[in-house]
Amino acid sequence: MKSAILVFLGGGLGSILRYYISKLLNNSAVSQIPFGTFTVNILGSLFIGFLFGLSAKHQNFNPGISLFFAVGFCGGFTTFSTFALENQAYLRTGDYYNFFLYTLLSIVAGLLAVFFGLYLSRLT
């Protein structure tokens, strides 16, 4: 039961933060790219890479911390379903340029963010 509560609390915090970041950045008239979704997904990738690196480095890493942050917070904070829906909208309207740009940037930046998070965890 404790594990479920940790995931629930972390997920709630992540979801609230995602809501506010997306609301702030997706309402920008600067670009067609949904920077709010992009930002939370890249930050979540960076954070989970850092957290995974710390847990691999420290054998006595508290599993409750991983449940709260990796499963809960990152699970609530990042959003693959919104990313997929936004890409579907690009395809539906024939905006192939932004579809490919957003997809490629999200995947490459997400992977780089995980690697950078792992690297940062080695510095601690």
Annotated binding residues, as ranges? 75, 78
Q: What is the pLDDT of residues 28-45, one digit of tens each?
A: 656 788 999 999 999 999
Write out the residue range of the structural domain in which residue 64 sits: 2-26+34-123
pTM summary value: 0.92
Residue with tokens 């039961």: 1
Task: For residue 46, give the nearest of 105, 103, 116, 106 by alpha carbon.
Answer: 116
For the chain, how many structural domains are there in total? 1
What pLDDT does residue 27 have?
74
Q: What is the pLDDT of residues 53-80, one digit of tens each?
A: 999 998 888 999 999 999 999 999 999 9
Task: Determine the Cα–Cα distance for residues 57 and 75; give it in Å rounded to an integer.
Answer: 22
CA-derived radius of gyration, the chain: 16
Annotated binding residues for Na(+), as ranges? 75, 78
Residue 51 vs residues 25, 44, 64, 68: alpha-carbon distances, Å: 25, 10, 12, 11
